[in-house]
Amino acid sequence: MFDYALIAGLLLFFAVGVLSRFTDAFERDKRYAHFTLAAAVAYGFGGGILAAASPAFAAVVFGIVLGVLLGGKIDSRQHGVAVGVLFLTALLLNTAPLFLPLVCFTIASFLDEDLHELAGKLKTRIKTKRSLVETILGSRVLLEASSLVLSAFTGNWVFFGAVFAFDAGCYFVPKLANWFPEH
């Protein structure tokens, strides 16, 4: 049987990833500054809806957000608004994430942010062609790897699908648009 709710959820994860990148781009490019807050509210609301849709989705959403928060990477008003809208929406819709996946995704997201920052420091310090280690560290692969391992271990492939859809929105779509500012 085809699960339309799952497909809709994965498409919303993709859209939230796209909107989070749009928020970053609109913040940097003053021509689109008037869209920044709207994009932030939209991706916060989408994340809240996803968190309320299922405990597995909630674990992914909250794990990513908590990891980024713990890493101190919510560094703009717009992203702060998005996180606030996300938590408010999830609270109002009575969300309950799965505990162990939540912990796993929080740790992976936190470590991904730290490794990404370390890769940036290596790049500026060494000033040579980007090495394989820098590429791996800068690619934020821990979240994807943890979702793959968790999905294989539990048999619940929603974890991997959700992370993959979100990352597809965050990383692949902007590469297709020439006008999009680089991350």
Closest of 60, 74, 63, 87 to residue 20, by C-alpha: 74
Residue 97 in this model has a pLDDT that exceeds 70: yes
Is residue 183 in some structural domain? no
Does the pLDDT value for residue 180 go beyond 60? no
Whole-Å CA distances, 55 to 12, 61, 102, 107, 166:
16, 10, 10, 18, 17
State pLDDT tens for residues 43-72.
Answer: 999 999 999 999 999 999 999 999 999 988
Q: Which residues contact 155 (CB under 8 A, 6 or more apart)?
A: none
The 8-class DSSP code of residue 168 comes to I
List Cβ neighbours of 53 (8 Å cut-off, separation of 6 or more). 5, 9
- Residue 182 in domain: no
* Other Cβ atoms within 10 Å of 118 Cβ, number: 14
Report the number of distinct structural domains present in the chain: 1
Q: What are the pLDDT digits (tens) for 23-36?
A: 888 888 778 788 88
Range(s) of the domain holding residue 85: 4-176
Q: Which amino acid is at 165?
A: A
- pLDDT score for 1: 43
pLDDT at 154 (0 to 100):
94
Q: Is the entire prediction scored with pTM above 0.75?
A: yes
